[in-house]
Amino acid sequence: MDPYLSNEPLLSSDVGLMEGLVSTRAIRLYHDEPIPNEVLRAVCFAATRAPSDSNRQSFRFLVLSDGLKAVRAKTLIAAAAQKIWDFKREAEGYTSGSGNDETTPKGRMNRTMERYIENLDRAPAIILPCVTFSGEISFLDGASVFPASQNLLLAARALGYGGVMTTWHLWAEAELRELLEIPDDVYVAATITLGRPLGHHGPVRRRPLPELIFEDSWGQTADWVVDPPGTTHTGHVPKRPTMKPTRPGGEP
Ligand SMILES: Cc1cc2nc3c(=O)[nH]c(=O)nc-3n(C[C@H](O)[C@H](O)[C@H](O)COP(=O)(O)O)c2cc1C
Domains and CATH numbers, the chain: 5-204 (3.40.109.10), 206-237 (no CATH)
Which residue has the CA at smallest separation from atom 7 of ligand 1?
166
How far away, in angstroms, is 90 Cα from ligand 1 center?
18
Which residue has the CA at smallest separation from atom 23 of ligand 1?
26
How far away, in angstroms, is 113 Cα from ligand 1 center?
11
- Ligand 1 pocket, 25 CB below 6 A? yes
- Ligand 1 pocket, 166 CB below 6 A? yes
Counting atoms of ligand 1 from 1, which one is nearest the CA of 84?
A: 8
Mean pLDDT, rounded, for 7-28: 97
**What does the pLDDT read at residue 95?**
82
**What does the pLDDT read at residue 203?**
97
Which residue has the CA at smallest separation from atom 20 of ligand 1?
26
- Ligand 1 pocket, 26 CB below 6 A? yes
- Ligand 1 pocket, 225 CB below 6 A? no
How far away, in angstroms, is 167 Cα from ligand 1 center?
9
**What does the pLDDT read at residue 245?**
53
Of 60, 61, 2, the closest CA to residue 36 belongs to: 2
How far away, in angstroms, is 74 Cα from ligand 1 center?
19
**Residue 249 pLDDT > 50, yes or no?**
no
For a pocket test of ligand 1, which of 27, 94, 167, 168 has the largest count of ligand atoms closer than 8 A to its C-beta?
Answer: 167
**Residue 248 pLDDT > 50, yes or no?**
no
Which pLDDT tens digit goes with each residue over 184-242? 999 999 999 999 999 999 999 999 999 999 999 999 999 999 999 999 999 878 777 66
Which pLDDT tens digit goes with each residue over 43-77? 999 999 999 999 999 999 999 999 999 999 999 99
- Ligand 1 pocket, 182 CB below 6 A? no
Mean pLDDT, rounded, for 163-169: 97
Q: How confident is the model at residue 118 (pLDDT cuts 50, 70, 90)?
A: very high
Which pLDDT tens digit goes with each residue over 175-198? 999 999 999 999 999 999 999 999
pTM to 2 decimals?
0.93
AA identity, residue 169: H
Helix axis angle for 68-91 and 173-180, nearest 10°, is 170
**What does the pLDDT read at residue 2?**
79
**Residue 111 pLDDT > 50, yes or no?**
yes
**Residue 98 pLDDT > 60, yes or no?**
yes
Q: How confident is the model at residue 246 (pLDDT cuts 50, 70, 90)?
A: low
**What does the pLDDT read at residue 97?**
82
**Residue 110 pLDDT > 80, yes or no?**
yes
Between 2 and 235, name the one with better pLDDT.
235
User: In angstroms, rounded to a whole number, what is the distance separating the alpha carbons of residues 182 and 179?
Assistant: 8
For a pocket test of ligand 1, which of 118, 166, 204 has the largest count of ligand atoms closer than 8 A to its C-beta?
Answer: 166
